[in-house]
A and B are shown apart, each in its own frame.
Chain A
Amino acid sequence: METLIQLVVTGVMVGSIYALVALGWTIIYKCSGVLNLAMGELTLIGAYVCLQLYLWGVPFPLAVAGTLVVGFVLGLVVERLALRPMIGQPILSIIMITVGLAFLFRALVGFIWGTDTRVFEPRVFPMDPIRLGPIVVGQVFLWSFAAALVLLVAFVAFFQYSRWGLMMQATADDEMAALSVGISARRVYALAWALAFMAAGVGGTLLGNINGLNVSVGFLGILVLPAVVLGGLNSIPGAIIGGIIIGVLQNLSGGYLDRLVPGGVKDIAPFVFMVVILMFRPYGLWGWEKIERV
């Protein structure tokens, strides 16, 4: 029983990081309809920028702020150069352009920072774990959870209350209507990419603090896909809940199934889960139900 609680708690905490990245993915999909396979590489770039700033001696909160700024600018640039010319192209072309971006970014990160695992040195968060009743949680998990929560709340508040957030929601809801009331869809797309870069960068930084940072952190970008499919592609609460569920699912399957079926169950359980969802409820928990003949 204690193992179960332990696994669920850590799962929720890691899941909150997935939720952050899944949120970034959903923002892009909701606003511009782009299915982004480069999400993992966005997390890589953000994480390494933050690491570099930190190693240069910038205090950690400032380094995170720097990551956010760099992510924002990069998001705008990438959207302008690669994505905007692709508006209206077939789905395969758009997916493949994000694949091209993914290869390019991962290669850049690998080329600049190498393949060795890097850690935040000196440690950002204290190493000794905290006891919460029967369960033991590393402080880094707790802090990551808190940071992810703060950012999630900030993003949701941005969408609900700010002028720009409302513009993005309007565009996602009905692009034609949004255009007719004077919302610039281009700016919305650009902003969506900028926000996604920011969310992904912080997600990558947090994950890098937990496990150390190397190119394989980019796998997060693939792991986000089951989360958003579960949540329904265009639902922001769905992405958050989906991310947390995937985190828990991953931990549970690592803890229990690994004994029955040895091997990397932990890594593929989310995908098996995803196929099952796709078979029975392809629009996820809160996605828009589109009745479509296949």
Chain B
Amino acid sequence: MRLLPSGTFHESYRSDHALWQWRTGFTRVALAAAAVALVGLLPSYSSGYVLGVANVLGYTILSALGVQLLIGYCGQVTLGHAAFIAVGAYGTGIGILQYGLPYPVALAVGALLAGGWSVLFGLPSARTKGFYLIMTTMAAQFVTVDFVIAQYVSQIGGVAFSLPPGTIRMGTLVVDTERETYYLMLILVALCTAGVINLFRTRIGRAWIAIRDNDVAAEALGVNIFRYKLLAFFVAGVLGGIAGGFWVSANYGLTPEDYTLAWSLWLVGVILIGGVGSVHGVFFGAAFLTVILEVLKALVFTLADAYPMLNDRFLFVKEMAFGVAIIGFLLYQPRGLAYRWQQIKTYFKLWPFGY
């Protein structure tokens, strides 16, 4: 439920669908400006480590946006999203290395490739749903990453894909430090989020939500289910491709190991923890998991003197934490962090009258 401050009410559909539904008071503007400054100036007051974590966070957000779109808004459960991220990453990498494209062009090409690839594996959604669709998306994961990419694509132009410094360039600007990657990440996250939020307010977004809520009713209302499902797969694939293309710039290298089934499942975990069907949820979930991971790393690092085995087995500590987090959230906070955030906001809006 959306609570509006006293005195704000809608007189037209236009304002009812508006992104900003409140009058902008001084406090809000000041808070927003402070947040923008805090995020925008991060490189100038923090270490490379923080920037690295921020880049991982941005990558997780970009990757999970597409998953949220498919699962949370169109109701098509996907457990193979890493495949589309991989296609985007390899598309971008090959574009830069083999054809010498400038980075933005290569990124766009990679994203479109990923979108097309995603539509290909979205085709079975015409005939299947629920569990069977999950199986096809998992098949997409294995066919794409473990077979096509690991066996064939990654052999193009030598065995290892690594991008020498200076190859990722936009005009005269070369992206080769963490700081530049960070700003690139900010721009991409801002663009994709804005795009997705606005898409959800249009006819297309409403059609997706209708399909998610009740596909038969949606069809009765004149929504072409198949076309809109494919469109959802396409947009989600493009978003995944952008995420993959970004990761190329952050990593300077490409390996199929980055795009395993575990990463697909991790992304679904991100949106579950954040809240299914909420763009806020993507941010909350990504932040939660990324921060938890770093805290664990720090913890293992301090404990490693006493228990050296912890160092080798950090991967398992991480997986254990992820498993426990998912189970815990599903059992005790099934609507995710976004719902909790909503409740906190409601509390303050209603304060001091809690009803």
- Point out residues on A near B: beta carbons under 8 Å: 35, 82, 85-86, 89, 91-93, 95-97, 99-108, 110-111, 114, 222, 225, 229, 233, 262-265, 267-268, 271-272, 274-275, 278-279, 282, 292-294
Contacts and interface: CB of A to CB of B under 8 A. Distances in A.
Nearest to B265: A99
Contact of B147 (A93, A264, A293): A264
Interface stretch (B8-16, B32-40, B124-132, B192-200): B124-132
Interface of B: 71, 77, 124-132, 134-136, 138-139, 142-143, 146-147, 150-152, 215-216, 219, 225, 261-262, 265, 268-269, 272, 276, 312-313, 315-320, 322-327, 330-331, 334
A278 to B, nearest CB: 5
Given A229-B135, A275-B124, A278-B135, 14 more contacts: A35-B131, A35-B134, A96-B330, A97-B331, A99-B269, A103-B262, A104-B324, A104-B327, A107-B316, A264-B147, A278-B124, A278-B136, A282-B132, A293-B216
B67 to A, nearest CB: 11
Given A107-B317, A225-B135, A91 B326 contact: no
A100 B322 CA distance: 7
B319 A89 contact: no
A226 to B, nearest CB: 8
A110 B330 contact: no
A95 B77 contact: yes
Contact of A222 (B138, B312, B324): B138
Contact of B142 (A107, A271, A279): A271
A264 B142 CA distance: 10
B86 to A, nearest CB: 15
Interface SS of chain B: helix
B316 A278 contact: no
A107 B215 contact: no
Chain A contact surface mostly: helix
A82 B128 contact: no
A63 B127 CA distance: 46
A102 B143 contact: no
A263 B151 contact: yes
Given A111-B313, A264-B151, A103 B319 contact: yes
Most buried by A among B124, B146, B215, B316: B316
Given A100-B324, A263-B151, A282-B128, A294 B319 contact: no
A267 B146 contact: yes
A103 B320 contact: yes
B215 A111 contact: no
Shortest 7 CB-CB distances between A and B: which pairs? A104-B323, A263-B151, A103-B323, A100-B326, A107-B319, A107-B320, A100-B327
Contacts of B138: 222, 225, 271
Contacts of B130: 91
Contacts of A292: 129
Contact of B326 (A96, A108, A265, A275): A96
